[in-house]
Structure 1
Amino acid sequence: MSSKITMQQIADSLGVSKFVVSKALAGKEGVSDATREKVIQAATKLGYFAQKNAYMKTVKHEQQPKTSRPGRQSVLVLMPNIRFQTQESLYWGRIVDGISAKLEKDGYGMVIVSEQSVDSFVHFLNPSGISGLIGVGEISTSLLLEIHRLGLPLVLVDHEDPLIPSDTLFANNFESVYRLTRHLIGIGHRKLAFAGSTDYSRSFYDRFLGFRSALEDEGLWDERGGGKENILIDVDGLRHEDAEEPVKQWLAKRLRTRELPTALVCANDMIAIGAVRAAQSHGLNVPAELSVAGFDNIEDAAKLEPALTTVHVPKEALGRRAVERLLQRIDAKDEPAEKILLACELMYRGTTSAVGRQSE
């Protein structure tokens, strides 16, 4: 008996028709985004995508509108408006600035698409006018599968998908937070906590792993006690306003039980800004009673009072390097995919200090 996973098996597991599964995997119209995601998840669990020739054949696009001027190829920058991923963002916008500058220098046009719907994306795209795609931030698996099915060169920035073979670029999240945490330990901190949901993004997860590894190397992880809730504040990094209240509640509990950490390492600057304000609302002195550090070095980090200790991500350089890698991929489509990590710089500012030392 063949062990090959078929569309019929996927359909049976979901209680839908094989026709629905076929349309969902082919990126065709007539299937809702919710159903398409369910089909992809079921296909993944059953091992459908691990098989050779699992992807559908490329569809024809002769009648789709063109997206570039004659004689000039363009690169499509895909940045779905998820979790505030927009050009106005102090983080994502700077990455797009780097992409734009590099493409202009190399003579390419740029088309920015914030579309999340697979159907709308397919109608918009004309592969003959697009040299390749750069995905910025989180992008749904269904949309990435459609891009992969079209066979267009693809580079992802600050995101990766286990189903999609592609080049990826990240800041060196693990090593940067590891170094930052070792620094805090080196200036006397023994009770540290991490603020940021490990399920929010791959970058957040890697930053948490760097934090944990530093504690483990210093023999502090097993000494913590009290459970995971004393070490990890599960909060997303959308806006500092969203982080402020959860951190405020978390700090209130630690103040009641006298389990307040001396340092808080945050998964990004938005969370860190919210954490500083939450600490100040409790009357805590930052950094004398609680040191706080962030990640990204957005423009608001330096404007905070006191200025935020953070990790500087070379955002424009991420964008430029993504373009360089895409152009290399266009010229050598069969090369192995690469995961590129850019080094970051630690920015020591006013929100951190040695244990027991008042800021000057």
Structure 2
Amino acid sequence: MRPTMKDIADIHGVSINAVSLALNNKPGVSEKMRLKILRTADDLGYLDDKEKYLRTYEKTNLCVMMQDQYSKDMNFYGIILYAVVEEAKRNGYDVSMNFFNDNRMEIPKMILERRGSGIIIIGKISDSNIDALQKYKIPMVLADHASLVKNIDSVLTDNKLGGFVVVKYLLQKGFKKIGFFGELSYSLSIKERFWGYQEALRTLGPPDIKDHLTEYTHKYSIFDGIETAVLNNYNKQIIELVKKKECLPEVFVCSNDRAALALIMALQALGYTIPEDISIVGFDNIDMCEKIRPKLTTINVNKEIMGKRVVQRLIYRLNHMDALSENTVIGVNLVERETVKVTDLHRS
């Protein structure tokens, strides 16, 4: 037998009228009870052939998507995700989580069945997959990623400033051989951090660096084979990358904290001491930065604010469908700890 409003009412101990008010998105029931009634109606299959109730139901749901490879590193994206869920709940929305493979993405069932009012993408996604999602005409906002070819809202870290601030700090410390450790093809964020690194060397570095910046950068940096090894804890692969490098720098600026931690372990395995032999700076300020020894100097990214802002921007978009797309950029700051050597220039 098909479920009825009475079935739903009996489950929650409310009147049939209360169920009707909830399904029609009318006042008279609390938001908490409305969500419970809608969930039950969906679970029982009551909404399947009722278009007008589906329109109410979709207004209570957000679809959050993230590449499945990021599930291996929840120190960063996990905090953003938690903030997204909490901010969504605070505004009366429920979140459906979908992990996807960027090379063979499947459209989430919630989107196919029109049971979501908006989409949040956390982390990198290809433009072709953005295009596939946009065909469903559901508002979308990106977190920690931006498309260079799609007009779409995004919430980003000021990665360029972070890369610049790190190198400025290291130049002021007296370092002359500053390398970059990160895979530029992995994400837009890493490219931006590298751009900030280069721009600081170009504008603040001594003439011998400015005049030969490309040669200098490649001499002291490692760009290839990093991110997959880091995500999968392939420590031996990181060790091999370091061993192959003919000229190691005095300090590495790392694309993110996990890369920095992997590099520290590789250098220590090869007999180097941090920071006496080689200094290390990370990016993101994950919890492990405080737990390792020596504690990691890094750039702080406010992950909680990013999660909140992306939900707030999506809600704005839902209420202003014709507004121009915007990139919201969140500031960063340097957190000094113990992985940067005190140079002779700065000894007290």
TM-score range, shorter chain: 0.7 to 0.9
Query: Matched residues in 2 for 1:309 and 1:324: separation?
Result: 31
Counterpart pick for 2:218 among 229, 248, 251: 229
8 Å contact kept, 2:63–2:110: no
TM-score (norm 1): 0.73
Task: Tell me which moved more, 335-344 or 347-356.
Answer: 347-356
CA deviation digits over 1:5-57, x for unaligned, max 9? xxxxxxxxxxxxxxxxxxxxxxxxxxxxxxxxxxxxxxxxxxxxxxxxxxxxx
User: Shift in Å at residue 247 of structure 1?
Assistant: 4.7
Query: Matched residues in 2 for 1:122 and 1:240: separation?
Result: 25
Query: Matched residues in 2 for 1:173 and 1:243: separation?
Result: 26
- Residue 248 (str. 1) matches residue 239 (str. 2): yes
In structure 1, list runs of 5 or more residues that go unmatched.
1-61
Matches within 5 A, 1:44-63: none
Matches within 5 A, 1:254-293: 254=245, 259-293=247-281
- Residue 183 (str. 1) matches residue 174 (str. 2): no
CA deviation digits over 1:185-236, x for unaligned, max 9? 1011011100001111000000000101111112324356856531321143
Task: Give the letter for the 2:341 counterpart.
Answer: S
Partner of 1:334: 322
CA deviation digits over 1:134-154, x for unaligned, max 9? 011122333311221111111
User: Shift in Å at residue 261 of structure 1?
Assistant: 1.2
Q: What secondary structure, in the 3-state scheme, does the structure 2 residue paired with 1:89 have?
A: coil
Query: Matched residues in 1 for 2:226 and 2:55: separation?
Result: 37
8 Å contact kept, 2:274–2:280: yes
User: Shift in Å at residue 175 of structure 1?
Assistant: 0.1
Query: Matched residues in 1 for 2:266 and 2:157: separation?
Result: 28
Structure 1 runs, 4 residues or longer, greater than 6 Å off: 62-69
Partner of 1:310: 298
Matches within 5 A, 1:97-136: 97-116=82-101, 120-121=106-107, 123-126=109-112, 128-136=114-122
- Residue 195 (str. 1) matches residue 181 (str. 2): yes
User: Shift in Å at residue 302 of structure 1?
Assistant: 1.4
Task: Give the letter for the 1:229 counterpart.
Answer: H
In structure 2, list runs of 5 or more residues that go unmatched.
1-47
Counterpart pick for 2:63 among 76, 80, 84: 76
Q: What secondary structure, in the 3-state scheme, does the structure 1 residue paired with 2:227 have?
A: coil
Partner of 1:171: 157
Task: Give the letter for the 1:74 counterpart.
Answer: N
Query: Matched residues in 1 for 2:147 and 2:214: separation?
Result: 34
Partner of 1:350: 338
Counterpart pick for 1:213 among 199, 210, 222: 199
8 Å contact kept, 1:159–1:202: yes
CA deviation digits over 1:340-360, x for unaligned, max 9? 11111211111012335999x
User: Shift in Å at residue 278 of structure 1?
Assistant: 1.8
Query: Matched residues in 2 for 1:196 and 1:63: separation?
Result: 51
Query: Matched residues in 1 for 2:107 and 2:297: separation?
Result: 40
- Change beyond 3 A, Cα 1:243–1:314: farther
Task: Tell me which moved more, 122-131 or 282-291.
Answer: 122-131
TM-score (norm 2): 0.75
- Change beyond 3 A, Cα 1:157–1:71: closer
